[in-house]
Amino acid sequence: MSNETTPPVPVGEGFLRKFLSKFSVSRDKGLREDLENVIESHQAQNPQDGPGQETTSMMRNLIKFSDLRVDDVMVPRADIIAIEDSATMRELLAKFNEANHSRLPVYRETLDDVAGMIHVKDFMRWMSGRGAKPKAKAKNPGITISAKDLALPIKQSGIYREVLFVPPSMPAADLLLKMQATHIHMGIVIDEYGGSDGLISIEDLVEEIVGDISDEHDTDDEQLIKRQDDNSYVADARVLISVVDKLLGVDLLPDEEEDEADTLGGLIFEMAGKVPTRGEIITHDSGLEFEILQSDARRVKRIRIHVKKKPSSEDTAEEVSG
């Protein structure tokens, strides 16, 4: 999720609403194929005219978007960053700083009982209202929050916002329209037993149409891959192959194949010959295993890299003697 509020959709809202409404009412395969054919035909006949590459790509994404369900786009439960309502405002501040998200779900005791969400803007307003105003000639003009206020439990803060509760089978286009109509921009995906299965934000939905939304808070390539306690690595699919090569001391792409992919996600797509689903494991010739943690109908998003331990000289000697 991005750090800012709802990102602008680079097409007229009226057009987007009409387009999504059309597919929400009737997901006509023939209509989608006709639209794709029109785009391709126009590009072939008028290469110098018409929409640019980015606009054309977005139009295609819109067509594909009509086939997506909520569970194709959601953040899985294991990756949800949330906070319990019994936590203090001080802990909420630390969680916002750690998560680098603009919204955080708040739950009661377990993630299966989500009470709402807190927007960072509402939290900042709360701090401004509680903080002592600086003196006119103070060297540090920042506000001061008392320890008593910071010790206040979140559930007593009164700054919750509503969330939507949606089934995983709900069409993504329907949810986007609902979020626009209700102005509720976070949804909790519930399973058949009423438990929390995942989380979805309006940014997640819009990114399916316009592509990844980056801002000044997004991480560098080197920070898109992190080592875990079990010596595996969790990586964003956008991380460059060259960064993985340098970090793990491998050569994932031979020189003659370097033009085929730039990112780890692109490499995995080339290896699998498709977009692999969550839970699939793709093995590279180097011995690395790529476990898909998150993907949707169009691309891989997050990967766990399992690094096989190289046999020591003693292990090799034992195998030879055996």
Q: pLDDT tier at 21 (50, 70, 90 boundaries)? A: low
Tell me what percent of the chain is helix, strand and coil, each rounded to the nearest 5: 40, 20, 40
The segment with the largest mean pLDDT, out of 64-68, 85-89, 316-320, is 85-89
Return the bridge partners of 83, or none: 106
| The residue type at 85 | D
Contact 39, 56 (CB under 8 A): yes
Of 17-31, 136-150, 165-179, 206-220, least confident by mean pLDDT is 17-31
- Cα–chain center distance at 22: 26
User: In this predicted structure, what is the pLDDT of residue 147?
Assistant: 85
d(CA 98, CA 301): 21
Q: pLDDT tier at 83 (50, 70, 90 boundaries)? A: very high
CA distances (Å), origin 240, targets 2, 246, 248:
20, 10, 13
Sequence-separated (6 or more) residues with CB below 8 Å from residue 244: 225, 235, 250, 252, 264, 305
Q: pLDDT tier at 318 (50, 70, 90 boundaries)? A: very low
Residue 108 is given by DSSP the state S
pLDDT beyond 80 at 106: yes
User: In this predicted structure, what is the pLDDT of residue 56?
Assistant: 66
Query: Rounded mean pLDDT of 205-223?
Result: 64
pLDDT beyond 50 at 10: no
Q: Which fold has domain 73-210?
A: CBS-domain (3.10.580)
pLDDT beyond 90 at 154: yes
pLDDT beyond 60 at 98: yes
d(CA 4, CA 250): 37
Q: Which residue has the higher pLDDT, 315 or 253?
A: 253
Sequence-separated (6 or more) residues with CB below 8 Å from residue 235: 224, 225, 226, 244, 264, 302, 303, 304, 305
Q: Which residue has the higher pLDDT, 63 or 126?
A: 126
Surface-to-core class of residue 158, CB atoms within 10 Å of its CB (0-12 exposed, 13-18 middle, 19+ buried): exposed
What is the H or E stretch that residue 306 is in? strand 300-306
Average pLDDT, the chain: 78
Give the residue extent of every domain in the chain.
Answer: 73-210, 221-306
User: In this predicted structure, what is the pLDDT of residue 12?
Assistant: 46
User: In this predicted structure, what is the pLDDT of residue 135?
Assistant: 57
Q: In what order do the strands lie in the sheet with 300-306?
A: 225-227, 233-236, 300-306, 289-295, 281-283
Return the bridge partners of 69, or none: 171
User: In this predicted structure, what is the pLDDT of residue 320?
Assistant: 43
Residue 87 is given by DSSP the state S
d(CA 93, CA 87): 10
pLDDT beyond 90 at 85: yes
Instruction: Report if pTM > 0.85.
Output: no
Element counts in the chain: helices (H) and strands (E): 12, 12
Q: Which two tokens stand for residue 131?
A: 């903080």
Return the bridge partners of 246, or none: none
Contact 301, 265 (CB under 8 A): yes
Return the bridge partners of 164, or none: 187
User: In this predicted structure, what is the pLDDT of residue 212?
Assistant: 62
Query: Rounded mean pLDDT of 296-311?
Result: 79
Residue 255 is given by DSSP the state G
221-306 maps to which CATH number?
Answer: 3.30.465.10
Contact 98, 120 (CB under 8 A): no
Query: Rounded mean pLDDT of 262-278?
Result: 89
User: In this predicted structure, what is the pLDDT of residue 25?
Assistant: 44
Q: pLDDT tier at 32 (50, 70, 90 boundaries)? A: low
Q: pLDDT tier at 263 (50, 70, 90 boundaries)? A: confident
Residue 253 is given by DSSP the state S
Using DSSP, state whether 294 is helix, strand or coil.
strand
d(CA 184, CA 311): 53
